[in-house]
Structure 1
Amino acid sequence: MGRPRTPLLDRERITTTALELVDSQGEFSVPQIARRLGVQTGSVYHHVDGRDGIVELLRERVAEAIDATTLDLRPWDRALAAWARSYRAAFAAHPRAIPMLMTSPVRAPRVLAQYERAVDLLLDAGFPLPDVMPVLTALENVVLGSALDLAAPETMWEIADTAATPRLAEALAAVAGHRADRAFDIALEGFLGDARRRLADA
């Protein structure tokens, strides 16, 4: 018999299956991937470097949706704002992957290359070297927190008795537009304002 036209197993299919599992249940296991693909668990390990290797494939897959060309914009704050919005959209599409990806070291070369561009942007703008990674980490905190918020219900506060919390009820009723989007705009502008002040004081 000849070989099948479509390989039973490759890194792309493993990544797709792992991401489907994460999107549906927030986690994956190698045996689950093998069962879905109709192969033995050991066969999966022939294509990836264990579970950590699959996590990095997931990171690369999610990060593919981030528009790294935004980091070529100028001035630097315009570039960071555009990158942050693209970054947020990419992770908002897979919010259950965030805890897994943000609690494991970044090793994927293509993702590291994007961070390299972000570091270049900040250094070229004049940020002191010791401030660069704290600034980028702070931006990630804003972005990823907001990406999770996008997956939350629009109404996060359910008030049974408005008489008990009348000011909260008024504040909720006064929100115009999408709460998570407005909150992200406020947080991003606050971050950028602080970063501008730090750069001016450098």
Structure 2
Amino acid sequence: MPAVTSAPADSQRPDTKPRRRVGRPAAAVLDQDGITAAALQLIQKSGYDGFTMAALARTLNVAPSALYNHVSSKRDVLVLVQDHLTSLVDVSAFESEPWERAVRDWAWSYRDVFSKHTPLIPVIAVLPVTDAPKTLAMYEAVSAGFSRAGFPQERIISAIVAFESFIFGSAYDVTAPADIFDSGSMAATTPHFTSAVARLAEQGFESQADVAFSLGLKALIAGLGGFRA
């Protein structure tokens, strides 16, 4: 008769509980950098009109309630995006270079950053800088540079806004089609304009947007530089 074996003691029983999976957790881990990156991705794909908190939650693969644990509103997300983009603008030349060179470097960097994110320009251009530390840091560096260059305090902000108005408009120009000034069947009735467009094309410039930006920037620097003491 076969021997009857007793059930193993609890300490000897094989572990029947499911083991915890090693690796990334199933739920997405949210932080400000991830939210900012997802917002930029969504806006680039769907435009600002397609940017909603529900769409952002779907992009992040989380429930909207999880998103609201980190940001309280769409405006909060836009402040994060604004701060991220502004932090990419190079203001280092204001520490060591003459004002004209510093402004030129800042303006080119500013335009290049926002030419990649034109759907955000109408929003960010009028978004208050309250609670945006990186944006405020940029304005502080630029304001300090203007002040050291001899600008009167009451002219500094107006001068910066004048540059920004030109920079944002030029950022759009970067993305304009090459034939934007083609007069087509109206060429005969617009001879001066058509001739000027043809002459510009003959110059063989790699980027008409860059030529226009350089020309306008030189004029702004020369004009606004006259306010310095």
TM over 0.5: yes
- Structure 1 pair 30–165 and aligned structure 2 pair: CA distance change class (3 A): same
Q: Is the 8 A contact 2:38 2:59 kept in 1?
A: yes
Q: Is the 8 A contact 1:139 1:191 kept in 2?
A: yes
Counterpart mapping for 1:99-118 below 5 A: 99-107=122-130, 108-118=132-142
| Partner amino acid, structure 2, of 1:68 | V
Report the equivalent of 1:33: 56
Q: Is the 8 A contact 2:87 2:138 kept in 1?
A: no
Q: Return 5+ residue gaps in structure 1 as ranges.
A: none
Q: Is the 8 A contact 2:31 2:70 kept in 1?
A: yes
Q: For 1:1-53, what per-residue CA distance to the aligned partner results, in whole angstroms no more than 9, with x for missing partners?
A: 47963643222221111111211232111100111222111211111231111
Report the equivalent of 2:116: 93
Give the CA deviation at 1:196: 1.8
- Which runs of at least 4 in structure 1 moved beyond 6 Å after TM superposition? none
Match of 1:125 among 135, 138, 149: 149
1:155 aligns with 2:182: no
| Partner amino acid, structure 1, of 2:175 | A
Secondary structure of residue in 2 paired with 1:173: helix
Match of 1:13 among 19, 30, 34: 34
Q: CA RMSD in A?
A: 1.7
- TM-score, length-scaled by structure 2: 0.81
1:174 aligns with 2:199: yes
Secondary structure of residue in 2 paired with 1:163: helix
Q: Return 5+ residue gaps in structure 2 as ranges.
A: 1-19
Match of 1:49 among 72, 77, 81: 72
| Partner amino acid, structure 2, of 1:22 | I
Secondary structure of residue in 1 paired with 2:181: coil
- Measure the CA separation in 2 of the matches of 1:189 and 1:24: 35
